[in-house]
């Protein structure tokens, strides 16, 4: 039976109602998974499908995946979706479809506790014995040593997660949760993973980490680029020498007496703020001295067969557990040394190319941007991140041949171009590009309120007067809706300013307000539990927030979410594309505007669509999205019509009608409707 037969007939007990966009999506996925492709010469069948909330994407791809008989990897960004697939959707569908198909979730190594490292906790004098005992008790009773099963002190998680597993000789392997999860994952027909683990697998050609697979489905695809970037970023922290001393102490690899003062010199010479790393002679010399020393250790580790490719399983291992434990530790240290050497090669190599100085190994053709990042009072961290991650994953995607990328937000005003670029693909390489209609009747459910005469939101113009005017507008809407509102801000500074001005100007407020601080989950709980709640929030609340019903009836966007000016990675990406345009003969005067539209604008539109998408989560939801940014109204910017076109609901600038609508919704919700 074909996938659509299960979705077209509610009597079969799979779909409650027939949703045409869901049926269409299942048809596309089924075609990708089952169309004959010549393994040698056949063109890849890649589909990008935008399907909004309510389409039922997970069923639309899981049913064809189960029925295909192929080994399919499903990758998602968020743990919540992985849990939904593994705990609800896949068991339900496998049972309903009567299919004998196994499925398994596999997380990255650092999500599992390693028994050898749990034993070693006694070696750390600074740990509280109660914490260690509680942790061990959990580990003994846990099913898979999965660290997300409950909350642990963060430092205990770092000290115990799996690093380099030497399972072939580890006497704990037969009861090890990580090994069991990995074995089951290798045998599972459908494997669910996160984007970071997928990135590692794709970078190695596809199949080395996850086992061979026939097809790949990437859900929450709009976030893949960000996770790919994190997975490929190399970092150097001032605590590295401490870690190396702990690992290599009393071995032939120990150089801590030399390394510690070198790291000390380096971190003292770094600029005390976040910026692109610029090398002067002194800094370059320090990096090169450090490189020479680390590279000596790396060569020795390679010669002793301790440094192995990341993600690969060591061929030969030690014969007893004590040696295995020591080997596992050394392998983790070897990875740290290797990554730091690669980072310095990038940092110094890219600069040395210009100055022809320094004895640096070449190799990686990827272009990186190197930065210093300082968080709070901590010493800065050095990191190198690829300017483009797409080229690192595209060859594997094209090699897999059957790939579906889906999300509620993939298309912008330029179609799928931006999304395709994140995967290193051109739109010509994508066989199917489909934006499915929303199943919600937006004209009956929602309105976008875009007022005229909003103040200029540019940084220079955001004076007290700006905040005062916006807060006045917000307050009138919030009074009408009686709360039930999310105010999505683009920075902590703006969020706090709106919050403070509102409290100061209108206290006592007829609604309850809170702002984002600490982890998002408790705050979202507060929002759902509190009548008349208004939550001021930043980036994390622009997506993933799901409040069905009238509890959320108003979403306010004070300012369009353009990326922060000066983001070094974004600047480097724009420069790279700008340089290519220049080489291709583009008018230099147009390049700034073109790259701004290709990156800043596209990114902002993706985020805006996500933010607007918080409002209508089910067919009975209703509400208003208020965008208080004059650039959307359309008198000043050429791009304004493109933004308005992306909004799924009718647009108005007539406040009286909006206030009336919100009053009705507020009353209905508070009356329990």
Residues at the interface with ligand SF4 (CB under 6 A):
114-116, 162, 165-167, 170, 172-173, 176, 178-179, 328
Q: Residue 460 Cβ, how far from ligand SF4 at the closest point, in Å?
A: 55
Beta bridge partners, 370, equal 384
* Number of helices and strands in the chain (H, E): 27, 18
- State the residue for tokens 């074909």: 2
| 498 and 467 Cβ atoms separated by less than 8 Å | yes
Residues 215, 31: Cα–Cα separation, whole Å: 12
Q: Give the number of other Cβ atoms within 10 Å of residue 619's Cβ.
A: 13
Q: Residue 313 Cβ, how far from ligand SF4 at the closest point, in Å?
A: 10
By the 10 Å C-beta count (0-12 exposed, 13-18 middle, 19+ buried), 68 is classed as: buried
CB closer to ligand SF4, 113 vs 394? 113
Which residues have a Cβ under 8 Å from the Cβ of 526 and sit 6 or more positions away? 514, 533, 535
CB closer to ligand SF4, 162 vs 454? 162
Q: What is the DSSP letter of 368?
A: E
Q: Residue 334 Cβ, how far from ligand SF4 at the closest point, in Å?
A: 15
Residues 201, 530: Cα–Cα separation, whole Å: 44
Q: Residue 550 Cβ, how far from ligand SF4 at the closest point, in Å?
A: 48
CB closer to ligand SF4, 221 vs 333? 333
Pairing of strands 381-386, 368-373: antiparallel
Interior/surface letters 70-87, b for 16+ CB within 10 angstroms, e for the rest? ebbbbbbbeeebbeebbe
Q: Residue 180 Cβ, how far from ligand SF4 at the closest point, in Å?
A: 9
CA distances from 585 to 86, 572, 576, 599 (A): 51, 20, 15, 20
CB closer to ligand SF4, 108 vs 415? 108
CB closer to ligand SF4, 24 vs 169? 169
CB closer to ligand SF4, 63 vs 170? 170
Q: Residue 146 Cβ, how far from ligand SF4 at the closest point, in Å?
A: 12
Single out the residue of 123, 106, 205, 124 nearest to residue 162, CA to CA. Answer: 106
Q: Residue 162 Cβ, how far from ligand SF4 at the closest point, in Å?
A: 4
Q: Residue 108 Cβ, how far from ligand SF4 at the closest point, in Å?
A: 13
Q: What angle do CA 296, 298, 300 make, to 5 degrees?
A: 70
CB closer to ligand SF4, 47 vs 170? 170
CB closer to ligand SF4, 114 vs 446? 114
User: Could you give phi then psi for residue 600, rounded to 5 degrees?
Assistant: -60, -50
Q: Residue 256 Cβ, how far from ligand SF4 at the closest point, in Å?
A: 24
CA distances from 550 to 231, 529, 613 (A): 39, 13, 14
Helix (H, G, I), strand (E, B) or coil at 234: strand
CB closer to ligand SF4, 167 vs 614? 167
Q: Residue 564 Cβ, how far from ligand SF4 at the closest point, in Å?
A: 40
CB closer to ligand SF4, 169 vs 407? 169
């Amino acid at each position: 039976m074909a996938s659509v037969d299960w979705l077209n007939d509610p009597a079969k007990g799979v779909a409650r109602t027939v949703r045409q966009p869901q049926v269409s999506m299942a048809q596309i996925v089924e075609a990708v998974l089952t169309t004959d492709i010549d393994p040698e010469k056949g063109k890849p069948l890649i589909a990008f499908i935008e399907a909004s909330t309510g389409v039922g994407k997970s069923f639309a791809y899981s049913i064809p995946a189960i029925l295909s008989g192929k080994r399919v990897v499903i990758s998602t960004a968020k743990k919540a979706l992985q849990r939904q697939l593994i705990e609800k959707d896949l068991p339900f569908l496998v049972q309903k479809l009567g299919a004998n198909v196994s499925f398994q979730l596999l997380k990255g190594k650092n999500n599992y506790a390693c028994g050898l490292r749990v034993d070693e906790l006694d070696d750390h004098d600074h740990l509280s014995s109660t914490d260690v005992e509680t942790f061990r008790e959990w580990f003994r009773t846990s099913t898979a040593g999965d660290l997300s099963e409950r909350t642990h002190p963060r430092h205990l998680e770092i000290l115990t997660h799996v690093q380099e597993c030497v399972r072939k000789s580890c006497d704990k392997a037969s009861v090890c949760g990580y090994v069991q999860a990995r074995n089951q994952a290798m045998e599972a027909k459908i494997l669910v993973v996160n984007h970071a683990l997928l990135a590692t697998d794709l970078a190695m050609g596809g199949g080395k980490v996850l086992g061979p697979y026939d097809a790949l489905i990437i859900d929450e695809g709009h976030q893949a680029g960000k996770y790919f970037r994190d997975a490929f970023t190399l970092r150097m922290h001032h605590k590295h020498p401490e870690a190396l001393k702990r690992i290599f102490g009393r071995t032939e690899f120990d150089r801590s007496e030399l390394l510690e003062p070198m790291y000390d010199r380096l971190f003292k010479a770094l600029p005390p703020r976040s910026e692109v790393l610029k090398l002067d002679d002194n800094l370059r010399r320090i990096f090169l001295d450090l490189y020479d020393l680390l590279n000596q250790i790396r060569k020795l580790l390679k010669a002793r067969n301790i440094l192995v490719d990341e993600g690969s399983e060591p061929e030969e291992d030690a014969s007893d557990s004590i040696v295995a434990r020591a080997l596992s530790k050394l392998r983790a240290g070897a990875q740290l040394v290797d990554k730091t050497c690669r980072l310095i090669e990038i940092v110094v190599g890219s600069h040395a190319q210009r100055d022809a100085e320094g004895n640096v190994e070449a190799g990686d053709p990827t272009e990186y941007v190197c930065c210093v990042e300082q968080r709070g009072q901590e010493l800065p961290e050095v990191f190198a991140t690829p300017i483009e991650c797409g080229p690192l994953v595209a060859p594997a995607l094209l090699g897999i041949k059957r790939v579906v990328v889906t999300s509620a937000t993939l298309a912008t005003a330029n179609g799928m171009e931006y999304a395709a670029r994140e995967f290193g693909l051109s739109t010509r390489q994508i066989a199917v590009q489909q934006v499915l209609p929303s199943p919600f009747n937006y004209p009956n459910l929602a309105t976008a309120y875009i007022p005229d005469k909003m103040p200029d939101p540019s940084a220079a113009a955001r004076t007290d007067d700006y905040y005062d005017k916006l807060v006045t507008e917000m307050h009138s809407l919030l009074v009408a809706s009686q709360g039930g509102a999310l105010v999505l801000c683009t920075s902590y500074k703006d969020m706090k300013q709106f919050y403070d001005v509102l409290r100061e100007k209108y206290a006592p407020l007829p609604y309850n307000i809170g702002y984002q601080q600490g982890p998002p989950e408790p705050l979202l709980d507060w929002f759902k539990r509190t009548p008349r709640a208004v939550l001021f929030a930043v980036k994390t609340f622009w997506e993933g927030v799901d409040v069905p019903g009238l509890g959320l009836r108003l979403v306010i966007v004070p300012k369009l979410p353009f990326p922060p000016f000066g983001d070094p990675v974004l600047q480097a990406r724009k420069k790279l594309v700008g340089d290519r345009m220049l080489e291709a003969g583009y008018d230099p005067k147009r390049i700034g505007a073109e790259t701004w539209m290709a990156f800043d604008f596209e990114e902002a539109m993706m985020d805006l669509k996500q933010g607007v998408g918080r409002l209508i989560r089910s067919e009975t939801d209703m509400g208003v999205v208020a965008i208080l940014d004059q650039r959307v109204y359309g008198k000043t910017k050429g791009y304004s019509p493109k933004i308005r076109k992306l909004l799924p609901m009718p647009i108005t600038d007539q406040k009286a009608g909006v206030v009336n609508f919100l009053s009705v919704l507020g009353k209905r919700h508070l009356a329990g409707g």
